[in-house]
Amino acid sequence: MTIDTGAGSRATSPAGAARALDLLDGPVTDTTLRRYLEGIPGVDAVGLEQRAGGLGTRSIKTTSKAWALDRIIELVDLTTLEGADTPGKVRSLVAKALNPDPSDATCPRVAAVCVYGDLVGTAVEALGASHAPRARAAGHGPGIAVAAVATAFPSGRASLAIKLADVADAVAAGADEIDMVIDRGAFLSGRYSQVFDEIVAVKDACRRPDGDDAHLKVILEVGELSTYDAVRRASWLSILAGADFIKTSTGKVPRAASLPMTLLMLEVVRDWYQMTGEQVGVKPAGGIRTSKDAIKYLVTVAETAGEEWLQPHLFRFGASSLLNDVLLQRQKISTGHYSGADYVTID
Amino acid sequence: MTRLTVPKTYKLYIGGKFPRSESGRTYEIATRAGGFLANAAKASRKDARDAVVAARSAVSGWSSATGYNRGQVLYRVAELLEGRRAQFVDELVQSEDLSSRQAEAAVDLAVDRWVWYAGWADKYAQALGNGNPVAGPYFNISVPEPTGVVAIVAPQSGEGHSLVGLVSAIAPALVAGNTVVVLASESAPLTAISLSEVLATSDVPGGVVNVLTGSPAEMAPWLASHADVNALDLVGAGALDWVALQVAAAETLKRVLTPEDGSDAAAPSLQRISAFTELKTVWHTKGLL
């Protein structure tokens, strides 16, 4: 499998190419991408952090808090990405996704489960009639999607052919969403067109024979991009190449999602929307463990991109331990007393 | 030239740190004669919640330390208490209006009780556990294990209660490896905070003891109904609606000790240790001989 870097070949992936060709002055090459991306003004780091800090101080009480907790659950990609994952672990994750709080039937379901590619089949089977495509077809609400990490997650260090095979494998197994990692090495050494081409190629690989396609989330891994400027450029690059979602991190490096990083990415998404009318999603992942933190993210989304973004197709939390904390807070609100870890499932 | 006095700010002790109350509230501590003594933090239910989180996260470390090690750590606390006796005497004199002789005696008693309980740390398991007789080729052994997080309403009255009562209530819970959230004497909380300074500089890990000052009537119901609290010691809750607290505690099957009054409240006994343990019984095959 080889990828032609000439502009002509991109006629096969109109979404990405169209987005980019409209904006770049000329064909997609390292030069035109660099001219565009490095022409984006730098980030005012102090201002950004101050703004994020300010958004984090809102006090959310009673009914708003109850609403926020339910909404957080609806926005969660319940995740297990361990080397030690087993089919049994995935089935118990799916059971939790279907019924997060067995003691409370009013508890909403999560948006998706997120697993490694080889476990997609197990997750789809465990979801059964609640799997998103089947649930939608039967008219039983949105159902629960299966997201798979692919493209040699988490490092992304493999040849393009292997990455594409990884994606195709997960899509064939029934994945509804693909979380790909960008090649940070290529991005940091300025080979923007290589990153661009990979995203375009992966987007292609997300197509199913039936014409439907898996949603593509592009993981920037902000902890390895280090600077706000680089994250802003990578966000633009990913959106230009056709990402449906931009995601902060893999959760495998120490500096994962932070409020300022997420705010920065939301600003790019907002700017893109104002420019083109296209809505791109954002997914902070890694390190969001408490309801309090998650509520700060909701506030940030509502204040930056708009409340419209607080929906599963435009905003997600990648999290594993967050759900339990949200359930404890829900129980506190519904019973009037503090709950404890003995009253939610261990995962 | 007159020198400005530098009064001490008495704060809470949660998770090994000394935060102010989340609510920002304080209340005045008066001497028995009614004069101003100090400002203490008035903890809220959210501080109690934070204290339980800190106590819960400290359970695994403290309970997995060997009994011998816990005994050493607790004995070290007694050594540090002894080293600060002048401060404790002074605080007892000021806040409880004791004579200095009475205050000296109270500090002695507190240190002695602490040492007495420290000695039990590597012995209570022998006294409470058992090798049970069974009809079969098995060992059948019962061993006491810590209950978990213990919420304590410390004694609120009596001579020297703010130190002796406090020590008598928290030391036995610590012996078996439990962690503690204690509501200190409302009227005389200064010694409790000074004791937590002792604990903070000893080898007791942060979160094992958490001290809240303020109104027990306000915070006790939240602790009694808290699902992550495993036991409730109401020794100093005689003036509260403690039956309601017991009822709330029953919802989550907590162990409860009822209020005690008088000068021998929370008198030292092995029962105060065993009250916060759970007996685990295990079967094990005998080796073939």
Query: Does B222 contact A337 at a Cβ distance shorter than 8 Å?
Result: yes
What integer is the mean pLDDT of A188-197?
94
Q: Taking the CA atoms of chain B, what radius of gyration do you get in angstroms?
A: 20
Higher pLDDT, A29 or B154: B154
**B38 DSSP β-pair partners:** B29
A336: closest CA of chain B, how far (Å)? 9
- A8-12, B20-24, B212-216: least confident range: A8-12
Q: Which residue of B has its CA nearest to A339?
A: B227
What integer is the mean pLDDT of B227-252? 96
CA atoms within 13 A on the CB side of A149: 25
Residue A7 has pLDDT above 50, yes or no: no
Annotated catalytic, A283? yes
Distance CA B109, CA A120 (A): 66
Over 80: is that where the pLDDT of A23 sits? no
Picking from A49, A24, A19, A27, the residue whose alpha carbon sits closest to that of residue A39 is: A24
pLDDT digit string, tens, across residues A110-149: 999 999 999 999 999 999 999 999 999 999 889 999 999 9
- Which residues on adjacent β-strands are paired with residue B209? B180
- Could you tell me the pLDDT band of residue B288, with boundaries at 50, 70 and 90? low
Would you list the domain boundaries of chain A? 45-343
The Cα–Cα gap between A245 and A183 comes to 17
DSSP state of A189: T
Distance CA A222, CA A251 (A): 10
Average pLDDT over residues A155-175: 94
A247-257 pLDDT per residue, tens: 999 989 888 89
Q: What is the pTM of this model?
A: 0.89
**What's domain A45-343's architecture?**
Alpha-Beta Barrel (3.20)
pLDDT in tens, B77-112: 999 999 999 999 999 999 898 999 999 999 999 999
> Is residue A67 within 8 angstroms of chain B, CB to CB?
no
| pLDDT confidence band for B6 (50 / 70 / 90) | confident
User: Lowest-pLDDT range, A118-122, A317-321, B196-200, B275-279?
Assistant: A317-321
Return the pLDDT at A26: 77
ipTM of the prediction? 0.86
Least Cα distance to B179 among B187, B168, B170, B166 occurs for B170
Mean pLDDT in residue range A152-180:
94
Tokens standing for A197?
Answer: 């081409």
**Per-residue confidence band for A1, with pLDDT thresholds at 50, 70 and 90:** very low
B-chain CB neighbours of A338 within 8 Å are: 49, 52, 222, 225-228
Residue type, B124: Y
Mean pLDDT of all residues belonging to chain B = 94
Q: What's the DSSP call for residue B33?
A: T
Cβ–Cβ gap B228/A342 under 8 Å: yes
Q: Please state, rounded to an integer, the average pLDDT across all residues of chain A.
A: 90
Does residue A14 surpass a pLDDT of 60? no
